Amino acid sequence: MAFRTVGDIITEARVLLQDVAGERYTDAQMVQALNEGLLETRRLRPDMYRDRLSNVPQYTTADLSTYIVYEQMYVPALINFVTGRIQMQDDEANSDGRAVVFINTFLSKLTGLG
């Protein structure tokens, strides 16, 4: 699957979160996690924004069908960030470890250090 829109990325993160129906996490929560992932990408990999405006795009729930400008080879890393960030919000004790794995996967894929 080619991840072309904000909604595509959120849908895939929902699969990993076992929340395909969107009953546990709102679209607003998911989009906020995506926005944080984009900011983290800018911090870790400023080269990915070199040819664009210095501002990192920020999305809202109205943008679910909006095409996202992001290197396709790094989209799985971004999905991992969104999933990990959402997992951090869970109050279940076992989700913290899972969240760390997702965030660390994002970091290693994005920076090539893993």
The predicted pLDDT at position 98 comes to: 87
The predicted pLDDT at position 95 comes to: 58
Do residues 44 and 55 lie in contact, with contact meaning Cβ atoms separated by under 8 Å?
A: no
Task: Please report, for the chain, how many H helices and E strands are present, in that order.
Answer: 4, 0
Kindly state the percentage of the chain with pLDDT values over 90: 68
The predicted pLDDT at position 50 comes to: 76
**Cβ neighbours of residue 101 under 8 Å, at least 6 residues apart?**
84
User: What is the chain's mean pLDDT, rounded?
Assistant: 89
Domain ranges of the chain: 6-111
Condensed to tens digits (0 to 9), the pLDDT of residues 60-99 reads 999 999 999 888 999 999 999 999 999 998 766 555 788 9
pTM above 0.75, yes or no: yes
